[in-house]
């Protein structure tokens, strides 16, 4: 009697890692396939950096403010990627008809979005490095890195928290659809203001800075500036405290993203809808 064998299902972790690599690959290829994208995503944002630097120099601001602007402009590339490429990704996938395939696939949506986030991080990193290097060369900025391990930890935790936040926002796009686009357009510039993209966030005051710390970019930028720039400016918090808060935000946003994506999968697979009951 002939025995039929069925292929073993892949281990969940192995399946998840394969999904992560598979979804990151298109981001890496597509992000570097068109050279003119580098112009739009790196060169044009650099014009805003140059404008702020020239304003500070005209006002006679301390030299470290030039470094504030360059680091803020580089991190702004990540915020734009989170806002447009991560938060809106599932909405675009539904528009193109791919969301149904993702929901039927064996891996969870969290692994799929993790792959998109990983590919987006690496692609955006090239833009951020370009902005940092070019701005440093043009304006002759000098950096005083006090601890490379702490700087790497701050940068990594900031990205994890940011892309976790983007994954949570992706769920809102599916629930509220077009209404969120207006909110996204509205919050882009205010977020750049309250996170201190181009100035020390302490300038806003302790209360406003503390509220702005709910956005990972605020703490990440403040800590990176403390670790790379000298001067007499007053930071928002100490670096160890900001690292601890970034770790809490990273865990919270990733957990929130996992929960919200499970809700999406339940609504799609069990109830056959992708909207809230009260809508």
Q: Flag whether 277 is in a domain.
A: no
Is residue 67 one of the residues assigned to a domain? yes
Taking each helix axis as running N to C, give the angle between helix 148-176 and helix 178-194, from 0 to 180 degrees, rounded to the nearest 10.
150
Residue 5 falls inside a structural domain: no
Neighbouring C-beta atoms of residue 236, cutoff 10 Å: 24
Domain count across the chain: 1
What integer best gives the mean pLDDT of the chain? 81
Beta carbons of 191 and 277 less than 8 angstroms apart: no
Contact 107/14 with Cβ under 8 angstroms?
A: no
pLDDT in tens, 56-91: 989 888 888 888 899 988 888 888 878 777 777 777
Q: Which domain holds residue 69?
A: 12-271
> What tokens does 39 get?
């112009």
pLDDT tens column, 134-174: 888 988 888 888 889 999 999 999 999 998 888 888 877 77
Q: Would residue 157 count as lying in a domain?
A: yes
- Any domain includes 1: no
**Is residue 279, in this structure, part of any structural domain at all?**
no
Residue 53 lies in a domain: yes
**174-230 pLDDT, tens digit each:** 766 666 667 777 777 788 888 888 888 888 877 787 888 889 999 999 999 999 987
The answer to the question of residue 54 being in a domain is yes
Under the phi-then-psi rule, with left for phi > 0, alpha for psi from -120 to 50, and beta for the rest, what region is 202? alpha
User: Above 60 in pLDDT, residue 275?
Assistant: no
């Amino acid at each position: 009697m002939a025995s039929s064998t069925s292929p073993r299902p892949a281990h969940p972790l192995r399946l998840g890692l394969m999904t992560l690599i598979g979804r990151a690959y298109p981001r890496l290829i597509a992000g570097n396939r068109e050279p003119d994208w580098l112009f739009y995503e790196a060169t044009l944002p650099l014009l805003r950096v140059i404008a702020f630097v020239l304003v500070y120099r005209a006002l006679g601001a301390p030299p470290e403010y030039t470094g504030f602007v360059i680091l803020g402009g580089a991190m702004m590339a990540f915020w734009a990627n989170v806002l447009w490429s991560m938060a809106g990704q599932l909405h675009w996938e539904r528009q193109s008809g791919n969301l149904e395939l993702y929901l039927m696939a064996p891996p969870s949506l969290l692994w799929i979005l993790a792959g998109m986030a990983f590919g987006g991080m690496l692609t955006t990193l090239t833009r951020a490095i370009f902005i940092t290097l070019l701005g440093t060369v043009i304006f002759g900025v000098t950096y005083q890195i006090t601890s490379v391990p702490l700087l790497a930890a701050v940068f990594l935790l900031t990205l994890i928290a940011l892309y976790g936040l983007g994954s949570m926002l992706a769920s809102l796009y599916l629930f509220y659809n077009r209404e969120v686009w207006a909110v996204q357009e509205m919050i882009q510039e205010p977020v750049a203001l309250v996170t201190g993209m181009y100035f020390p966030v302490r300038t806003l005051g302790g209360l406003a800075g503390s509220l702005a710390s709910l956005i990972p970019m605020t703490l990440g930028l403040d800590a990176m500036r403390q670790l790379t720039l000298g001067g007499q400016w007053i930071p928002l918090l100490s670096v160890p405290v900001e690292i601890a808060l970034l770790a809490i935000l990273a865990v919270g946003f990733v957990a929130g993203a996992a929960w919200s994506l499970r809700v999406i999968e339940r609504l799609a697979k069990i109830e056959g809808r992708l909207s809230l009951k009260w809508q």
